[in-house]
Amino acid sequence: MARNTSLHFRVVEGRSLPAKDVSGTSDPYCIVKVDNEVVARTATVWKNLNPFWGEEYTLHLPMGFHSLAFYVLDEDTIGHDDVIGKISLSKEWISSYPRGIDSWINLTHVDPNEEVQGEICLEVKVLEEPQRRTLHCHVIEARDLAPRDISGTSDPFARVSCDGHALETAIIKKTRFPHWDEVLEFDLEEGVPKGSRVSVEVWDWDMVGKNDFLGWVEFSLDALQRSPAKGWFRLLPFPTAEEDAGGKLGALRLKVRLAEDRILPSMYYQPLIELLVESILCPAEEEDVSPLALLEEISSVESRQDVATKLVKIFLGQGLAVPFLDYLNLREVTKTTDPNTLFRSNSLASKSMEQFMKVVGMPYLHEVLKPIINRIFEDKKYIELDPCKIELNRTRRISFKGSLSEAQVRESSQELLKGYLSDIMESIIGSVEKCPAIMRVAFKQLHKRVEEQFPEAEHEDVKYIAISGFLFLRFFAPAILTPKLFNLRDQHADTRTSRTLLLLAKAVQSIGNLGLQLGHGKEQWMAPLHPFILPSIARIKDFLDKLIDVDSESAGKAQPRTLFHPSVTIKEGYLHKRKAEGLHLLPRFTFKKRYFWLSSETLSYSKSPEWQVRSSIPIQRICAVERVDENAFQQPHMMQIITQDNEGQLRTMYIQCKNVNELNQWLSAIRKASICNERMLPSCHPGAFRGNRWTCCLQPDRAVRGCSRTHSAMTLGDWSDPLDPDAETQMVYGQLLLARDKLREKYIECSDAGLAPEQERGPGTRAQGEQGCSCQDRQMAAAARLLNVIQDLERAHSAFERREKEEADNDSHHP
């Protein structure tokens, strides 16, 4: 049985940060670490003591975690960046807020003695002999220690202390993965006080100055006499009270939410899946009596997006995504009397369509928009149409002509916007065949339902607006406005580019609305674009007609049980690949720039995107995808891809990314693509084999077991997350469990004419009974069936929890 841990966090903004530059300001950015591993870096906000970031991340952590830390630094062009402060949140503290944290938290000082990481492998026991009693401590090895030296390594040794006596191991120089294999023994006298402690400390030896603390672990001597301690132990900082700087270092506004679920075997979720599927395959005559309709009614508005995402993935896995969306859309359309309000609410239908496009249509979105978005970021043009916001000093040329006039700025901005907008529309209109078949079929069904509900001539455009409202207003326009949230860019846009993207997104929204709002809003300064927008409307209708011109018979073929076709590119871009023969070359000659493509079948690369000859690695041969220590090649942001050839030999490719965010994105994407591989390695070397030894653990044997654990299941949450029916159904069950009282109260307890649960009635009677009973009775019957499923899953969870507790108790008694 697995555990599913997802950590959602958003770095919103900072306030009252201290000035670190001589100009009286700072250039702040945030580094986010999970258990001392960097998982994200925000953009730098230049010259601002109250920065706004608004950057959001989701991490999947199947192995769990201990702490989440946010570091605020001031970026310096020359020299090292200045550390402003940190916020450290323990997993226990985050877990104490089941609905999540959304608050301002003061920054604290960074204490080097608290910046510890890694684990130590020990065997500690008390040996009883006829004439003596001995504390036997076998210090075996440590891994992933904090780097304390400028070389990115440490010179670690261990110190074991007991009853005022201390012994030390040898010093292992220049490694974060020391292997001591030393036994240290203490004679225990009769007068050793009860409650004595045994501590094992790890230090970094320094020739000059004080040694640096690397962490410690402590045991009770009484507990060791009863049961020896053996295995890997997490190194901890010295226990000190964390001092709040009283707001002198400023504060961050953070949003953090932890979702932890125990995932049961698939058989336990099957009844709930069958109940949801029944709503689609056997729809009731009344629109509000199916289990799916009840789920929408009892789920909170805040959770509706998560519920919609999980339902979309569940029905994708069942091959029923199109019937699922058609069911929800039909309910929504049937209830709507005013076409102007169609799909304007945050209903389950609206959210499901929106999430469906993100789940299956992201490669399509990237192919359509990414080249144009990249060009806008590279151009960095100053564009502004609003007279109240034009800043003439921003347009100053490096010439004798001085700055442009306001009219010239508007004219220049209009031409630039029309150029970008023309390229965007041409790319969208020419993308019919690129759009996934399943999206086209879903839009065709939506078009049909709207046309049936509003057949009048005056509502001719409603069937087009229903589709364009999703495709343009909820897909293309948001992606143009914030490309980073759709993985079109690694970083948020700067102020100038953000304004350009906002103006383009507004224009695309107007086109998606088929020009219905043109001239009616407050932004009359957008009027110069109207001559371009109006002629585009007819072309958009023609595009939508072609988009839904897909054979309905292909609906079954268009419903994949995976997110996208195996050959679809999941991620692509330039990276630097280390030459296999470049061992003795200088770093600048060792790495070559190559263009990489990742699909669920292959990882391929060539000299450029246009280059015809590609080298490819089958995804199924990947055994590990891990970070590489900076000191391995004296290069930052590196990863290794370990593969196994047909002869069973392991091969390693080293790749360098341009920043930590790009590194994390590639690590995550390749790990997801290879997550089902059977030959994944449990350990690897985070260094390189150079000079006849590993740079990480200093072992001379090239084939020796890896000194660090692999992290194949640690990934960033995004549109490319693979389908996981059990985890998705568990989340739906969690929402039902939260709303169980509401469900019982509304449909069971508050009614005088309730139906007995289904198992209390004879076989074959449900259909007969429901034919003759009222709509309220059918609602109660559906609610009773949902309650039965909730109860069965709750019992299963309780049984597994008891079993886990019993196994843990047995392990503690029999180490």
**Interhelix angle 270-281/321-335, nearest 10 degrees:** 60
Is 725 in contact with 273 (CB distance < 8 Å)?
yes
Report the Cα 212 to chain-centroid distance in Å: 35
Report the Cα 672 to chain-centroid distance in Å: 12
Q: List the chain domain ranges.
A: 2-110+244-258, 119-234, 266-319+725-751+776-814, 349-393+405-548, 569-709
List phi, psi (to 5°) of 813: -85, -25
Is 385 in contact with 526 (CB distance < 8 Å)?
yes
List phi, psi (to 5°) of 29: -145, 165
Same fold, 119-234 and 569-709: no
Which residues in the chain come in under a pLDDT of 50?
397-400, 555, 558-559, 582, 750, 752-772, 813-815
Q: How many Å apart are CA 349 and CA 22, to the nearest integer?
A: 54
| Confidence (pLDDT) at 764 | 45
The neighbour count for residue 303, using CB atoms within 10 Å, is 14
Q: How many Å apart are CA 483 and CA 499, to the nearest integer?
A: 13
Q: Among all chains, which residue has been given the structure tokens 């841990």?
A: 5
Kind plus residue range of the DSSP H or E element containing 479: helix 477-481
Q: Among all chains, which residue has been given the structure tokens 């391995």?
A: 632
| Confidence (pLDDT) at 4 | 83
CB within 8 A of 624, min separation 6: which ones?
Answer: 640, 641, 642, 680, 681, 684, 710, 712
Q: How many CA atoms lie within 13 A of 635 on its CB side?
A: 24
Is 422 in contact with 532 (CB distance < 8 Å)?
yes
What is the second-level CATH architecture of the domain 349-393+405-548?
Orthogonal Bundle (1.10)
Helix%, strand%, coil% for the chain, nearest 5? 40, 25, 35
Q: How far is CA 548 from CA 368, 437, 440, 542, 551, in A?
A: 18, 9, 5, 10, 9
Q: Which CATH number fits domain 569-709: 1.10.645.10, 1.10.10.10, 3.50.50.60, 2.30.29.30?
A: 2.30.29.30
Q: How many Å apart are CA 371 and CA 368, to the nearest integer?
A: 8
Domain 119-234 has CATH 2.60.40.150: yes
| Confidence (pLDDT) at 535 | 87
* pTM of the entire predicted model: 0.83
Q: How many residues does the chain have?
A: 815
| Confidence (pLDDT) at 302 | 79
Strand-pair partners of 635: none
Domain 2-110+244-258 has CATH 2.60.40.150: yes
Q: How many Å apart are CA 69 and CA 85, to the nearest integer?
A: 11
Which amino acid, 368? V
Is 154 in contact with 100 (CB distance < 8 Å)?
no
